[in-house]
Structure 1
Amino acid sequence: MGTPDFCPLPLYLNLSSMKMLVWNCHGAGNSVFKRTIRDLLKSHNPSIIVLIETKVQLSSMGLFFNNLGFAASTFVDPVGKCGGIWLLWDPFKVIVLALDANPQVIYVKIKRDHFPNWILSVVYARPNPTKRDTLWENLESMEDNMSEPWLAVGDFNDFASQNEKRSFVPSHSHARTRKFAARLNMCNLMDLGCSGPHLTWSNGRQGMANTLERLDRVACNTE
């Protein structure tokens, strides 16, 4: 018999898949947040929740998340009402070991029986360029000792090309985009792309004053 021109690949269930919900929520202390997070959990059934810019302390929401089944957490609370990173998980689905944390990034190791361990970094980069430099020094130091699969997610407060910014005001940010792309390369991280609207931040202004940028992303190493 001749070989067919097209032989489809067999379809196997990806048993290693795991859902993670990452939300730059801009405040977690209101009824709209609670209603929305319940809807998201019902729709997506994640094992891990990552919340960025919570602007409130996790202690004020602990019972709420316990009732949703996310009884384990590691977090960096906001300074005043600025920032905040929460990472919560269902302890019956996954083991998360905290490695390090500071106001701009949380590092954890993700473990599940019968699957390789991997590293998750949750990023909330500060708007201040000097503080972002400190973040990237931290990430580069992490990469120097990285031998496992590594996923970095969150608000990097930077964009990698002019295609990731839409503004009616002339842009002089070419040096900024080159620096950000170089930093990703230094950490051996590659952008995983996205579906849907890719410009994730707006200055909230109308008409010609509106600016949109892609500040939130997911990146990983080759492992």
Structure 2
Amino acid sequence: MEANGFIGGIWILWKDTVQIEIMNVFPQYVHGRAQEEGSTKWLYFTVVYGSPQVTKRKELWDRLAALNPGNMEAWMLDGDFNATLRLEEKQGANRGNGTSKGFQDFIFNSELMVVEFRGSESTWKRENLWKILDRFLFNEKWAALYPMSIVTHLDRVGSDHCPLLFHSPKITGRTSERPFRFIAAWKNTQNFQASTRFSKPKSTAGTVQSSAISENEEAIACKKIYSERLVQLDAELRTQSDEVLEQEKSLWIQKSRQQWIRHGDKTRASSMLTPCTEGGRTTPQNSSSKTVNGARTKTNYELWQ
């Protein structure tokens, strides 16, 4: 989707091994689905660039809710939503109320979850004001397929937004059963501790524990490889960024010199040509008339004329 000046604009790039189908395009989002090579399952995605205008974002929440494929299909949303969920996601001057109720209601009604992140505490920063405006969301089906999903906030380069790196390794060997998730509200229910303390394990506890340990080791190995590659990639990008910025600096220095050569230093030139009166003629202040063999020579000012 093309940008409108410096506002909006969404690019979607993919590998040849992934099939992409764009289903819906709106000025604030692009919606579609992807299918991996060798898979028959479609993964739904929505890339968002929320408008900075509150009235337009209200329309965005309604349209996104209508795109929801339901919990039977995996759905992920990502991008710049231009909205915050909690007061803690905004710090600095002009903090205001710092939250968007429309955004909160959309996430709650759509039964979406915010993907855990690591790195910088903010995704947008300008002077002493910072916010979390960019994020990834997914539904329960996506969480079941990719339970190890995580987002990394990378360093800002040439923008007040930081890029987000989403990683969702698929753990092999899992059963088709839904994964267990602890709900914090359970702690407030009556007899919760007693019922969990004296619950008897099933006969398959040993098998389940062994499978869990194996899956955990595999996840740690994947995470370690990913972290090492991320550090290496970060170093490479920093080096390339320094080279590009140095080239851009040299280019602008060269352009500024060309402008000086073309137009000259007008202030200095005008001060050098400040006229004064000498014998009824206009001559520069620092110039003088000379007589050679009885003939008067021209002044510098006269030569310039």
TM bucket, shorter chain: 0.5 to 0.7
Q: Which residue, 26, 47, 59 being the options, matches 1:102?
A: 26
Structure 1: segments with no counterpart, 5+ residues: 1-75
Judge conservation of contact 1:108–1:120 (CA < 8 Å) in 2.
yes
Aligned match for 1:188, one of 95, 104, 111: 111
Could you list the runs of 4 or more consecutive aligned residues of structure 1 that deviate by over 6 angstroms after TM superposition? none
Q: Give the TM-score of the pair, scaled to structure 2.
A: 0.43
Matched, 1:222 2:140: yes
For residues 172-213 of structure 1, what are the alpha-carbon distances to aligned partners after superposition, in whole Å with 9 as ceiling and x for unaligned?
33xx3443222211222110121111311112x2xxxx1100
Q: Which has the higher helix share?
A: 2
Q: Determine which of 179, 195, 211 is the counterpart of 2:102.
A: 179
What fraction of aligned residue pairs are identical, expressed as a percent? Answer: 28
- What corresponds to 2:88 in structure 1? 163
Flag the structure with more relative contact order, 1 or 2, with Cα contacts below 8 A and sequence separation at least 6. Answer: 1
Instruction: Please tell me the root mean square deviation across aligned C-alpha atoms, in Å.
Output: 1.8
Report which of the two structures shows the higher radius of gyration computed on alpha carbons: 2
Write the deviation string for residues 34-88 of structure 1: whole angstroms up to 9, x where unpaired. xxxxxxxxxxxxxxxxxxxxxxxxxxxxxxxxxxxxxxxxxx0012332100101
Select the structure that is richer in strand.
Answer: 1
Where in structure 2 are there 5+ consecutive unaligned residues?
142-305
- Aligned partners of 2:19 and 2:35 also within 8 Å: yes
Instruction: Indicate which of 79, 98, 101 corresponds to 1:154.
Output: 79
What's the CA shift string for 1:63-120, capped at 9, x where partnerless? xxxxxxxxxxxxx0012332100101122x2111111111111111111222521101
Q: Structure 1 residues 129 and 170, CA, compared in 2 at 3 Å: closer, same or farther?
A: closer
Q: Distance in 1 between matches of 2:88 and 2:58?
A: 23
Structure 1 residue 171, shift from structure 2 partner: 2.6
- Aligned equivalent of 1:13: none
Normalised TM-score (structure 1): 0.58
How is 1:1-223 mapped onto 2 (pairs within 5 angstroms)? 76-91=1-16, 93-112=17-36, 113-114=38-39, 116-143=41-68, 147-173=72-98, 176-203=99-126, 205=127, 210-223=128-141
2:175 alignment partner in structure 1: none
Against the structure 1 CA distance between its residues 178 and 96, is the aligned structure 2 distance closer, same or farther, given a 3 Å change threshold? same
| Alpha-carbon distance between aligned partners in 2 of 1:192 and 1:177, rounded to the nearest angstrom | 18
Asked if structure 2 preserves the Cα contact closer than 8 Å seen for 1:139 and 1:187, the reply is no
The alignment partner of 1:82 has SS state of: coil
Q: Distance in 2 between matches of 1:111 and 1:87?
A: 15
Query: For residues 109 and 84 of structure 1, what CA distance do their matches in structure 2 show?
Result: 19
Mapped partners of 2:129, 2:41: distance in 1: 41
